[in-house]
Amino acid sequence: MSKTVIYEVEVMFSDCDPAGIVFFANFSKWMDASSLNFFVQCGIPPWRELVKTEGIIGTPLLEIHTKFSVSATYGERLQIHTSIEEWGRKTILQRHIIKRGDTLICNGTERRALCIKHPDDPDRFKAIEIPDWFKQRCT
């Protein structure tokens, strides 16, 4: 059984667009924050620490997929329910379900790679196999 960690955000006025509703890309932003919060709650240090000890710079996105059900607006509190749906050798599939209480707002997945700085070019990244200690903390 997978762990689920809930991250909460309060929608700000500036998160909303001229239609008066949350601009959809902010849901992706919050899923990303909830992804990182998931790792931190599982005992993974923040990337700025991990880059020093393990060379790991973070978990860049490979693919996202989200379905939007109901709009949300400022002043509302939303809960992002985050879990890991699938471990690949070098990738992690996270699911994020955003709710306002019992109401489903949107439902998405993110496929991520665990990356280090590329040994040949520090400006590029290189995916590595997910280490066992990483996987163990997250499950």
**Where on the chain is the footprint of its own copies (CB under 8 A)?**
10, 12-14, 16-21, 23-26, 28-30, 32-33, 36, 40, 46-48, 57-58, 60-68, 71, 73-75, 123, 125
**By the 8 A CB rule, do 127 and 115 touch?**
yes
87/116 with CB nearer its own copies: 116
Pairing of strands 4-10, 103-113: unpaired
> Least distance from C-beta 1 to its own copies, angstroms?
27
Contact (CB, 8 A) for 79 and 6 = yes
17 assigned to active site:
yes
Q: Which of 17, 32, 120, 132 is catalytic?
A: 17
Q: Which of 101, 122 has the CB closer to its own copies? A: 122
Which lies closer to its own copies via its Cβ, residue 1 or residue 10?
10
Residues 71, 78: contact at Cβ < 8 Å?
no
Q: Which residues are catalytic?
A: 17
